[in-house]
Amino acid sequence: MFWLPLEAGCAPSSRRCAWQVACSWTIEAPGTRPRVRCAGSRRIAGEKLGQRLHTLTRASMGQDVGSDDDDVMMPMPQASVIDVAGEPTEMLESVSPIRSKPALEVVVFPGNPGSGHFYEHYTKYLHKTLVDKVGCVRVRTLSHLGHVKGIYKPSFYTLEDQVEHKLNFLQEYCNDAETPLLVVGHSIGAYMALEAVKRWQASRKAARRTTRSESKHKHPSDTCRIMAQMPYMQFDESSSKQLSLERVAKRPYIPAAVAGFINLVVPNFVLVRVLTAFDKNLEKESARHVAEQLLSYTVGHNAFSLAQDEFKTLRGKEIDWTWLRGNRERVGWVFCPGDHWAPQKLYEQVVENLGEDKTCFIKYREDQFHGFVTSKLACKRMASLTEEFLTNFREN
């Protein structure tokens, strides 16, 4: 659900390397590997060599080569527009410079608002963490339908539409049974991830019964891991914030029109200053992306329309504990204090229903907050938690 401005997002870095500038958006057909048009591997190799020389030079001068170079060395996610069941969809992708078959596939589903650019810092840190552990990794972040300025059909999408969109993506682009798959969902994206994988698994079982065919490899829907980060699973009648947002979201065109008007009359640099002053966790890059993306009528309308449908769908909805118990080993959970979207009582329910099995990964982190993607430090910590979840799964 909404994590902005109460819990805000992360914007793309202003730094652009040589091979990123050479890249362009492409629309890909279903079933094909999304491509990024680049000037070639020589430029990538030259960029890496330049980064190494820069690091060595700074080290020889006695300068710190820590955090800044970590950011430089991490691959910049590349944006492309792909086709998902006839819907134009923005996808951000990070692939290791070594062009071999990925040893691990990671797919990230955002919260609301659902632009993948908010997750750039998290996916960069995650990519670097996982590359050090498993080698070649591909990380893809899928933006929600209608949540990216300039990339949408003239339509407003419900929660069901977004879940089906994620299911279609998994079915069309994640069918390699030989490559391990991790599906990460944040906030309402965690609900989408769990629901999409559950439907993916059910549809695959139905297809197997119809064809009576067996494969030597288990299907990804049966083996993929899912990480639910501060999951929004139920509407909380006792939360004053959710009740207030529900009233605002009943007429999504009003806040959308206000956002669009503000975007027209207030310069971006002023908006950035106001947003960062309003939310201490919101860094400038994140605020800049809010000003550029969320403060547009169509994106704002889709974000509030989705919020309206979330409240309607999740009010009184029962969590499918039966399915979760059957898949407890491959689902990881992260909670944090003061979170009304994934409250303390949900954490206690997860522990009560799933925690008796020590193989279930359940974390309550005091150093995290719901909108962690607004902070580089919080993104780094979440990337480490994600790697810990994968390590825990392998050991069990």
Note whether residue 261 is domain-resident: yes
Q: What is the pLDDT of residues 260-308, one digit of tens each?
A: 888 788 887 787 787 777 776 777 777 777 777 777 888 889 999 999 9
Domain annotation covers residue 51:
no
E strands, the chain, in order: 27-28, 78-84, 87-95, 104-109, 137-142, 181-186, 225-229, 331-335, 361-364
* 329 assigned to some structural domain: yes
Q: CA-to-CA distance for 216 and 329, rounded, in angstroms?
A: 22
- Whether the CA torsion 338, 344, 345, 350 is positive or negative: it is positive
- Pairing relationship of beta strands 331-335 and 225-229 according to DSSP bridges: parallel
Cα(201)–Cα(140) distance, integer angstroms: 21
| Residue 32 within a domain | no
* Best CA proximity match to 124, nearest among 363, 331, 333, 386: 386
Q: Specify if 54 maps to a domain.
A: no
108 phi and psi angles, rounded to 5 deg = -115, 130
Task: Say if 359 falls within a structural domain.
Answer: yes
CATH of the domain at 358: 3.40.50.1820
Domain ranges, residue 279: 77-395
Structure tokens at 164: 């089906």
Which amino acid makes up residue 297?
A: Y
Residues 110-146: tens digit of each pLDDT: 999 999 999 999 999 999 999 888 888 999 999 999 9
Domain count, the chain: 1
Write the pLDDT tens digit of every residue in 215-233: 656 889 999 999 999 999 9
Q: What angle do CA 83, 84, 88 make, to 5 degrees?
A: 50
Asked if residue 46 belongs to a domain, the reply is no
210 inside domain? yes
Q: For residue 324, what pLDDT is reported?
A: 96
